[in-house]
Amino acid sequence: MQQETERGAQGPQSQFEKGHRVPIQHHKQPGLQKELGDPKPTNTQLPTEDNGYQTYKAAGKLKGKRAIITGGDSGIGRAIAILYAMEGASSLITYLPEEESDAKTTVQRVEEQGQKCHTIALDLRKKENCKKIVEKALECLGGIDILVNNAGTQNMIEDIKDLTEDQWENTFSTNIDSVFYLSKYTLPHLKNGSTIINCASINAYIGRPDLLDYTSTKGALISFTRGLSNQQMKNGIRVNAVCPGPVWTPLIPATMNTSAQEQFTSPMGRPGQPSEIATCFVFLASQDSSFISGQSLHPNGGVVVNG
Ligand SMILES: NC(=O)c1ccc[n+]([C@@H]2O[C@H](COP(=O)([O-])OP(=O)(O)OC[C@H]3O[C@@H](n4cnc5c(N)ncnc54)[C@H](O)[C@@H]3O)[C@@H](O)[C@H]2O)c1
């Protein structure tokens, strides 16, 4: 009865409640947040109309910190930029030129929290661009305390025989090469207490067969995280990873077929919201995680994985 009342207060039944876990749709890459709309994976388990931001209680955990957030225009990256701003950090977000309109919305959401959000639209597959991003961060933020390697791409292919060499190389250059370059160029500017946080995926642990190239890059990211953590410990720089499960973002309708979208859920009976992933990025960037490095957090709706 209580549930009925809450549901009623949140308006008419959405497609989610009628049986689909997500409202199935197909978009071009890179997906845009504004085309995705603002759906809620369920309206019984999420506390607010505002994807969780309203209930988040900030406590100045990142006061005065300066962050680079790749792919900060939409999805998980946008949520990280907003929560970081709520915690007192300014940021430089990166995105692809086609995503300008989404990036403007992120800037507005960050500014509403009283923080600066700088922008740079560049393709991360080029190492020169990764260098430019670090230069821009130093110029506009005056330094870097947090590097969030969040940008990523995927494309579904059922069988290795149909997975082209071009796709394999493109996924690796987007998802892992860029992380190496950005980390390499950022590290000389990081100080004791700084952090690097990489966005991996549940797929690195479950070995998703129709995302072989993507899954491989995310596994590489976990190992990169561990190796770099062991290497940089002596400098007081912590390196960790976040491994989301299904999250309703523009990447999904831009890359997943109808059947995959129909099964896009978790043991909690719903996909996650970007803000539910971004809280892990806040924790790993803040002093609260000062004894944690080389590790992975698993906001995945309850799938138990090893690692
Ligand atoms: N959505 C999920 O279910 C899910 C699950 C596990 C992991 N992830 C990871 O989360 C991260 C963020 O994805 P999202 O789901 O928020 O989707 P998203 O589409 O909102 O964000 C992906 C971003 O990556 C950036 N990007 C992609 N290719 C790029 C390139 N060549 N150069 C520069 N930028 C590029 C784009 O700016 C884009 O905004 C990705 O690494 C993704 O693999 C997502």
Residue 156: is it exposed, middle or buried by C-beta count within 10 angstroms (0-12/13-18/19+)? middle
Check whether 301 has a pLDDT greater than 80. yes
Element (H, E) at 144: none
In the reported structure, the alpha carbon of residue 175 is separated from the centroid of ligand 1 by a whole-number distance in angstroms of 9
Active site residue 95: no
**Nearest CA to 113 among 93, 84, 145?**
84
- What is the C-alpha to C-alpha distance for residues 81 and 95, in angstroms, rounded to an integer? 13
In the reported structure, the alpha carbon of residue 230 is separated from the centroid of ligand 1 by a whole-number distance in angstroms of 26
Give percent of the chain with pLDDT exceeding 90.
75
Residue with token string 């931001």: 53
Check whether 37 has a pLDDT greater than 80. no
Assign 52 a pLDDT band (cuts: 50, 70, 90).
Answer: low
The response to whether residue 71 sits with its C-beta less than 6 Å from ligand 1 reads yes
- pTM, to two decimals: 0.92
The response to whether residue 86 sits with its C-beta less than 6 Å from ligand 1 reads no
Nearest-atom number in ligand 1 for the CA of 277 is: 10
* pLDDT score recorded for residue 43: 40
* pLDDT score recorded for residue 105: 94
In the reported structure, the alpha carbon of residue 29 is separated from the centroid of ligand 1 by a whole-number distance in angstroms of 10
Tell me the CB-side half-sphere exposure of residue 222, using CA atoms within 13 A: 20
Of the candidates 53, 84, 185, 214, the residue annotated as catalytic is 214
For the domain made up of 61-296, the CATH class stated in words is: alpha beta
Check whether 175 has a pLDDT greater than 60. yes
The response to whether residue 251 sits with its C-beta less than 6 Å from ligand 1 reads yes
* Torsion sign (Cα): 131, 132, 138, 143: negative
More confident residue, 2 or 161: 161
* pLDDT score recorded for residue 55: 76
CA R_g for the chain: 19
**Nearest CA to 33 among 115, 93, 112?**
93
Q: 61-114 pLDDT, tens per residue? A: 999 999 999 999 999 999 999 999 999 999 999 999 999 999 999 999 999 999
* pLDDT score recorded for residue 51: 61
* pLDDT score recorded for residue 33: 80
Of 34-38, 141-145, 172-176, 270-274, the one with minimum mean pLDDT is 34-38
Check whether 3 has a pLDDT greater than 80. no
* Torsion sign (Cα): 156, 246, 183, 124: positive
Check whether 271 has a pLDDT greater than 50. yes
More confident residue, 67 or 47: 67
Check whether 217 has a pLDDT greater than 50. yes
Q: 227-252 pLDDT, tens per residue? A: 999 999 999 999 999 999 999 898 99
